[in-house]
Amino acid sequence: MDATAPVDGRRRKRLRAAAVGVRRDPSAAGPGTSATLDAPGDADRTRSEGDPELLALTAEPYADVTDARDRLRALQAAFEARDDRRAVFLSVYSRMTAAVAERIRRGEFADPAWVSDYLVVFANHYREAVSDYESGAVDRLADAWRVAFDAAARGDSLVLQDTALGVNAHINYDLALTLAAVGVDPNRSERYADHSAVTGVIRDVLDETQDALAARDAPGIERLDDSLGSFDEWLCVFTVDECRDSAWRTALGLRSRFGLRRRLARWTNDVTATGAAHLILAPRASERVHDSLRTLEGTG
């Protein structure tokens, strides 16, 4: 299969149903279960007026790798035009999505079709989170995303905090759901190798991502990067790698045939991501520390 070709209709519906089912139904991740889309007009959907362009950009699921890459870039541009702090994380995520898409195009994964599905479902979790927040359906949001988006809306967090909050919600919450949706079997060892290879992509684009953040959002990051040498890159890759390994283990729990294990995995996924989000915001508890960090970052 051409990794960047549109997903056929039946496969697209299956992937979307799986992603939504795992996200909303703790039992849907188990083998042999089926997931269905919520019908329009469900009582849990509370709508409010949002930005029409942002709602339009997030209304329809991403169909394939190219669609996800291009529309994430369009959403990033829309955020930047509005000075919306959600652009901080998205500038990182869209760059990494494009890098993974390029590796897929070059055939650098053992199972490019699986990695393509993985990338698209993963991106759709982010799209849905933005759409729910923008439309006012915050009761549908994971707590980790609500913390991240609320911080961006306030606009008083550090750039590095806004980045870390997005990374946390997407990796510590969305990634396990993504892996459970696309499946880790058959060929589990091959798929795990491809999953791990994505960390190598993150490592490869880390420096240019830091440079982009420094150029647009926080000039002090460049000075901090120079003073720490390669330590900050090592720490970032190590942390992301550990979180991605944890997401894989959680996905195995979400795919378990035992309901108790699925519920425990679901609970762990939510609590871990939410707790990490509050830890990321901990410097806000001290105004002096927060102001010092803003000065160091070059945003104070």
**Separation CA 268–CA 180 (nearest Å):** 14
Write out 244-264 in H/E/C secondary structure: HHHHHHHHHHHCCCCHHHHHH
Q: 164 pLDDT exceeds 70?
A: yes
The DSSP 8-state label assigned to residue 283 in this structure reads G
pLDDT band at 258 (very low <50, low <70, confident <90, very high): very high
Name the pTM for this structure: 0.78
pLDDT band at 295 (very low <50, low <70, confident <90, very high): low
Q: What does the block give as tokens for 106? A: 């070059």
Q: 162 pLDDT exceeds 70?
A: yes
Query: Around Cβ 1, how many Cβ atoms within 10 Å?
Result: 11
- Residues 278, 147 contacting (CB under 8 angstroms): yes
- HSE-CB at 229 with a 13 A cutoff on CA atoms is 1
Angle (CA) 110-116-117 rounded to 5° is 115
Q: Which of 52-56, 74-78, 173-177, 228-232 has the lowest mean pLDDT?
A: 228-232
- Residues 267, 175 contacting (CB under 8 angstroms): no
Residue of 245, 173, 232 lying closest to 203 (CA atoms): 232
pLDDT at 156: 86
Percentage of the chain beyond pLDDT 90 is 59
pLDDT at 54: 97
Burial of 170 (0-12, 13-18, 19+ CB in 10 A): buried
Average pLDDT, the chain: 79
Mean pLDDT of 267-279: 95
Q: Where along the chain do its domains lie?
A: 11-21+47-297
11-37 pLDDT tens trace: 555 555 544 444 544 344 443 333 323
pLDDT at 2: 36
pLDDT at 7: 47
**Separation CA 168–CA 27 (nearest Å):** 24
> Which residues contact residue 187 at a Cβ distance below 8 angstroms, ignoring those fewer than 6 apart?
111
